Structures are given as C-alpha cells and as structure tokens.
Amino acid sequence: MYTQALNVKDTGKPASAEDPGKLARFQARIDAEEKIEPNDWMPEAYRRTLIRQISQHAHSEIIGMQPEGNWITRAPSLRRKAGLLAKVQDEGGHGLYLYAAAETLGCSREELVDQLLAGKAKYSSIFNYPTLSWADIGAIGWLVDGAAIMNQIPLCRCSYGPYARAMIRVCKEESFHQRQGYEIMMTLSRGSAAQKAMAQDALNRWWWPSLMMFGPSDKDSVHSTDTMKWKIKRFSNDDLRQKFVDATVPQGHYLGLEFPDPALKRDEKTGHWQHGEIDWSEFKRVLAGDGPCNRQRMKVRTKAHEDGTWVREAALAHARKRAERAAAVRIAAE
C-alpha cells in the first residue's frame, strides 16, 4: 500500500534553520492542494507533527479495541457477536494502516509501539472509560465512531498522501460501525423499560467523554495553527465538535433519549445546538493517566505485546527463510 520510505531520517534540525525558499515552495504546494508524498521535501516540523498525530491515532485504534473487545463473549446473540467481532477487527486493521502511514515518515512501527508501552505516547482519552453494559457497545458505535467519522472525513483531504489515503477506507468502515451502534441503541430504546434505561445510562456516561474526543477548545489547542496552515486539519477542534453535536442531538431525540446536559438548547437564529460547559479538568486528568481505566488499558496492551513476541519472531524467521530461498533460486538461475 505504501512505500516504506525510511530514507527521511530525523535530522533534529529546528524549523528555523530551514531554507526559506524550500519552505515557501512547500507552502505553495500545500496551498495549491497538492499532496505531499513520502520522498518529497518537507519541513521537519511538518514531518514531526504528522508522526505525532498519526501515531497517536494508530495507538487509539489499537487501545480502542479493548473496551468493546471486552463484550465479544457476552454479546446477546450470534448476530451481535459476529458484528462486534468484525468491528473490533476493523479497528485493529485501522491501527495497522496508520502505523504503516507513520512509517513512511521515517520512524519504525517498533519505535512507535515502544513509545506507547513506555507511557510516552498519547492515545484518545475516550478509551480510558469502562464498558459497563451491553448498551455501551451501542453508545460507542453511535457516539465514539460518530465523533471519529466527523473528525476523520476531513482527514481524507489531509495534505499528506499516505494519511489521506488510509483515511478513505477507515471512514467507510467507521460509518458501518456508527450505523451498527445506532441500531443497537434503537433496539434497546424500543425495548423493555429496563433496556431503555440501559440505553439512557450509556448515553449519560458516554456523551461528555465523546465531546472531549475533539480535543481542547480552540483557544487551548497548541497544534491547530500549524496543522491548519499545513492542511493536515481542515477544521478546528471546536468547529468539528459543534458539527458533531448538531448531527447527534436529533438522533438522540429520535431514540427518545435525553442528553445529560441541562444547558443543551437549539439556537433558533443559527440552527446550532448549544451545549453546556465541558469539564476540562476531567479531560486533563484522563490525559495525565488518571482516568477510570488508563492503568488497565496499558497493562492489557503490554501483556498482549509480550504474548505476541513469538508470533513476531516466527514471522521474521519465515520472512528470512523466504528471502534466503529466493536468493538461492536467483543464484542457481544465473
């Protein structure tokens, strides 16, 4: 899918030391909506910010398999189990495309995974919340995948080619996930009083963390100025959050559910749904490693990585043998 162009090593050069002519030509290409490809010249800061964002995104997909994976054995029917299994596998696949896209920028997947396991890399705050009932699987599909799509559709037009192309397939799959989640919520909301209460409880717990997925408010976002100038991000965090709220509130009302926000109201002039104040102290706590499940997520991920050591070693040994056999055949033919 991608060239594994590991020929663009980190020069450690600060952005200020870069050739102004090259910088101007680079920005002109971005402004002309050209895609930047792995072997093209790019400013160090652009390369580093992409590695940061793409690897955080990849880690999120991989850690994000845990809250839902937790329910595969407890899904209420074979149909639900098959759907959930496929969804969780899709998220694993997204992680792999994204690691591959990050590798084209000159860092290896091993380095990125090591950073995650060492606790030096971020992943999305949302995956540090627990899945307490089956309705949480519906709420994740509807809200978390819904928020992910809102954020990722514009990334299909990101200036960096490999990231933009990876996002096209990811978004198609996320949109299936969103619909299967909404369908679970619909079934529960139209079910018994206990099922409806379960759906309401899931919405109560997942609503605010879903809004936090879009990142800090624009005034506190440190990277947005650069990433918007470079057309990595096309919309600000607050703009995407607002689009998500506008799309999701009517869906929740259609389910007959209430949002856990007494301040939520539709502005008749603009048509937008205004939401109450987000608890940024909770967001900061989760980012600092003190969310309800941060420790558990890292423990499970570390164990899975250790348990997979023999698979990686076997795959490498097999690749080595194949290469040796192919070399022997070539020599014999010469």
CB of 253 to ligand FAQ, least distance (A): 23
CB of 124 to ligand FAQ, least distance (A): 4
Which window, 76-84, 99-107, 121-129, 320-328, contacts ligand FAQ (CB under 6 A)? 121-129
Q: Is position 216 an interface residue for ligand FAQ (rule: CB under 6 A)?
A: yes
DSSP 266: E
Looking only at Cα atoms, what is the longest distance across the chain?
79
Q: Is position 131 an interface residue for ligand FAQ (rule: CB under 6 A)?
A: no
Which window, 6-14, 183-191, 194-202, 210-218, contacts ligand FAQ (CB under 6 A)? 210-218
Q: What is d(CA 52, CA 36) in angstroms, rounded to the nearest whole number? A: 17
CB of 223 to ligand FAQ, least distance (A): 3
Q: What angle do CA 229, 111, 95 make, to 5 degrees?
A: 65
Q: What is d(CA 100, CA 136) in angstroms, rounded to the nearest whole number? A: 30
One residue of 38, 61, 150, 244 binding ligand FAQ per CB under 6 A: 61
CB of 87 to ligand FAQ, least distance (A): 8
Is the separation of the CB atoms in 206 and 129 below 8 Å?
A: yes
Q: Is position 212 an interface residue for ligand FAQ (rule: CB under 6 A)?
A: yes
Q: Which residue is nearest to ligand FAQ (CB)?
A: 64
One residue of 42, 53, 113, 166 binding ligand FAQ per CB under 6 A: 53
Q: What is d(CA 185, CA 191) in angstroms, rounded to the nearest whole number? A: 10
Q: Is position 213 an interface residue for ligand FAQ (rule: CB under 6 A)?
A: yes
Q: What is d(CA 210, CA 146) in angstroms, rounded to the nearest whole number? A: 9
Q: What is d(CA 23, CA 16) in angstroms, rounded to the nearest whole number? A: 10
Interface positions, 236-255, toward ligand FAQ (CB under 6 A): 237
Complex with ligand FAQ: residue 3 or 217, whichever CB lies closer? 217
The site that binds ligand FAQ (CB under 6 A) totals a number of residues, namely 28
Residue 110 tokens read as 């091993």
Residue 238 tokens read as 């607050």
Q: What is d(CA 183, CA 253) in angstroms, rounded to the nearest whole number? A: 14
Interface positions, 220-239, toward ligand FAQ (CB under 6 A): 221-224, 227, 237
Strands (E), the chain: 265-266, 273-274
One residue of 124, 131, 133, 242 binding ligand FAQ per CB under 6 A: 124
Q: What is d(CA 313, CA 252) in angstroms, rounded to the nearest whole number? A: 48
Complex with ligand FAQ: residue 55 or 200, whichever CB lies closer? 55
Whose structure tokens read 């990722």? 152
Q: What is d(CA 111, CA 290) in angstroms, rounded to the nearest whole number? A: 25
Which residues of this chain interact with ligand FAQ, rule CB under 6 A? 52-53, 56-57, 60-61, 64, 91, 122, 124-125, 140, 144-145, 148, 151, 212-216, 221-224, 227, 237, 287
